[in-house]
Amino acid sequence: MTGSEEARVVVKTGEGLRTEVSAGGHAVVADEPESLGGTDAGPTPYDYLLAALGGCTAMTLRMYADRKGWPLGPVTVRLSQDRIHAKDCGECETEEGRIDRIRREIELEGPLDEKQRRRLLEVADMCPVHRTLKAEVLVENSLVG
């Protein structure tokens, strides 16, 4: 990022682990639970990661159903994250160590038929955040000031 580029998200530490986040003109707080040395003033970074995936999933399903004219009512996405042994994952390329696992439960309301419901489950994997999490990601660091 150069000086002429404007950051989309700015994060600044506060007291302890409390972190102030500015994103698109919105201010939020990230923190850790007291048991991990935080003040529990806001969601954890992993909570925000899950919120990004859940929000993107719900929006992607809504846009797809609206474009198709399908009678999709509210969409609820419930997510959790943990780490498992790679050997316990039959569909993973990694064979040793531990991997992150995100569980995503999608609830679709509305008078959809079974074919529509199956297609929406497939479309959930097409959300841009899901694709980013599944792809190789390059994070470039630079020191300023």
pLDDT, tens only, 25-77: 999 999 999 999 999 999 999 999 999 999 999 999 999 999 999 999 999 99
pTM metric for this prediction: 0.86
Four-CA torsion 49, 138, 125, 44, nearest 10 degrees: -10
In a domain, 89, yes or no: yes
Q: Are residues 34 and 50 in the same domain?
A: no
For 50, the domain range is: 44-134
Q: Are residues 110 and 59 in the same domain?
A: yes
In a domain, 142, yes or no: no
In a domain, 20, yes or no: yes
Q: How many domains does the chain have?
A: 2
User: Is the Cβ–Cβ distance between 12 and 20 less than 8 Å?
Assistant: yes
